[in-house]
Amino acid sequence: MKNLTVLLTLMSLNTGGAETHVVSLARQLKKEGINVLVASRGGDLVRELDTSGIEHFTLPLHSKTPASLCSAIIGLTKIVKKYKVDLIHAHARIPAWVSQWVFYLTGCPYITTSHGIYSTHWGLGLLTAWGEKIIAVSEDIREHLVKNFKVRPEKIYVIPNGIDLEQFDPGVDTSSVQKELGLYSDEMKIVYISRLMGARGEIALKLIDAMPDICSSFPNVKLLVVGEGDKLEATKLQAEKCNAILKDRRVIVTGARLDTYALMGLADVAVGVGRVALEAMAMKKPVIIASEAGFMGALTPQNFEDAKRHNFSGRGTGQITNSKNLAEAIKDILASPELRKELGEFGRKKVQEQFSIDAMTKKVLEVYTKVLEEVNR
């Protein structure tokens, strides 16, 4: 597929699972010889693209206002024409809707990746467009698209997000971040990385609420909460209250960070969902899957296939995440070095076998090829 130019579109490039995936995908596509362009509102991760020599265009792809939508359509149309883009790959609802109009204006085909369970509310339905093909990052998302959006099954390809195994390496040097945060090697560390927004942000608060219980069994444990969003200030306040109760700095809220691989490298146990769970697995960390969608507890060989089917989200478990089950699951893992090692080795092996960015990008390229072959016919 030499001389192929692909434009990746997404709402923004602030830290997050889909955003990190797009950066990893863009880098890997470039390694495969693809000319890659990226358009979004912008954000901290733009510098990651700059470092890789990938051009980014700032457009209001995050907003549903008529002015922003028109501006985004005009901007993307100009990019497609100027750079002779062969294919647009959209990674959210608004960028996909905009890409549809660019297709009408230029004939440039587009595909979408569905990273989650989208709402079927009629207002949002008007902003839903799928393109020639759809990539779903898990099996339950594929089923959701077929059942609730009436998408033809043959249009959908299930391709999980890929992880850069070189970046998320168990041997990463964590000394500088450990020193920066005032941590000690003999302390046990729980690491939670997530968007601190809406219902998802509530999980951080529940995790902080679990700390007194956890510390009663493990007095040397610390919790790192990493992320940003509308719940960040509430999270900081909750951390201060918890630290006052425990009379020690047991909870550290870092805000948004780009060095999540180094922070994850500190973990004795990680709490997270989706891409964060996969990143933790890649670094040989035991994972607690807990979100607003459900509570699965420790990821094990026994529940791995069910977790994978639901994109490691906690969906489908029938359990609600609360401070009690978080504390119990974390204490079980912290109590057993052998279990931590066993689950860590299992996780790394599964990511190597099924979720490497190299293998996932090759599957994405197969979808690109199918679309372009069909268009050319």
Do 275 and 233 share a domain, yes or no?
yes
In a domain? residue 170: no
Do 363 and 325 lie in one domain? The reply is: no
Phi first, then psi, for residue 180 (nearest 5°) are: -60, -40
198, 343: one domain: yes
Q: Cα(59)–Cα(39) distance, rounded to whole angstroms?
A: 7
Tell me, yes or no, whether 142 and 222 share the same domain: no
- Band the pLDDT of 350: cuts 50, 70, 90: very high
The pLDDT assigned to 121 comes to: 65
Do 97 and 212 belong together in one domain?
no
Q: According to the 3-state scheme, what is the secondary structure of 99-128? A: HHHHHHHHCCCEEEEECCCCCCCHHHHCCC
Q: What is the mean pLDDT of residues 309-331?
A: 96
Rounded-to-integer distance, Cα 137 and Cα 160, Å: 4
Residue 168 lies in a domain: no
Q: Is residue 12 part of a domain?
A: yes
Clarify whether residues 363 and 317 are in a common domain: no
Sequence-distant (6+) residues with CB within 8 A of 337 are none
Residue 266 lies in a domain: yes
**Higher-scoring residue by pLDDT: 154, 3:** 154
Q: Is 151:132 a contact under the CB 8 Å cutoff?
A: no
Handedness of CA 230, 233, 236, 237 (dihedral sign): negative
Please compute the mean of the pLDDT values over residues 128-153 and round it to a whole number. 91
Phi and psi at 369, nearest 5°, equal -60, -45
Same-domain check for residues 109 and 186? no
What is the number of alpha carbons within 13 Å of residue 187 lying toward its C-beta?
A: 20
Residue numbers of the domain that contains 17: 5-162+356-376
Question: Same domain, yes or no, for 135 and 234?
Answer: no
Q: Is residue 263 included in any domain, yes or no?
A: yes
> Both 9 and 115 in a single domain?
yes
- Label residue 281 by pLDDT band (50, 70, 90): very high
pLDDT at residue number 2: 63
Q: Give yes or no for residue 126 having a pLDDT over 70.
A: no
Q: Is residue 45 part of a domain?
A: yes
Q: Is residue 365 part of a domain?
A: yes
Pick the closest to residue 47 from 79, 15, 86 (CA basis): 15
Count of CB atoms situated within 10 Å of the CB of 313:
25
197, with CB counted inside 10 A (0-12, 13-18, 19+), is middle
Q: pLDDT at position 127, please?
A: 57
First vs last C-alpha separation in the chain = 17
Alpha-carbon distance 347 to 47, whole Å?
A: 30
Residue 183 within a domain: yes
Average pLDDT rounded to a whole number, residues 31-39 = 97
At 376 the pLDDT is 83
Report d(CA 293, CA 19) in Å as an integer. 20
CATH number at residue 276: 3.40.50.2000
> What pLDDT shows up at residue 375?
86
Q: Tell me what pLDDT residue 21 has.
A: 92
Cα-trace Rg, the chain: 21
Q: Where are the beta strands (DSSP E) in the chain?
A: 5-9, 35-40, 55-58, 87-90, 110-114, 134-136, 156-158, 188-193, 221-226, 251-255, 269-271, 287-291, 294-298
pTM of the model as a whole: 0.90
Domain count, the chain: 2
Residue 376 amino acid letter: N
* % residues pLDDT > 90 (the chain): 89
Confidence tier at 60 by pLDDT (50, 70, 90): very high
Residues 195 and 312 in one domain: yes
Query: Is 16's pLDDT higher than 90?
Result: no
Shared domain for 55 and 148, answered yes or no, is: yes
* 44 contacts 53 by C-beta, under 8 angstroms: no
What residues form DSSP beta bridges with 9? 39, 90
Indicate if 98 and 233 belong to the same structural domain. Answer: no
Q: Scan for tokens 């990190």, then name that residue.
A: 20
Average pLDDT, the chain: 94
The 10s digit of each residue's pLDDT in 150-172 is: 899 999 999 999 999 999 999 99
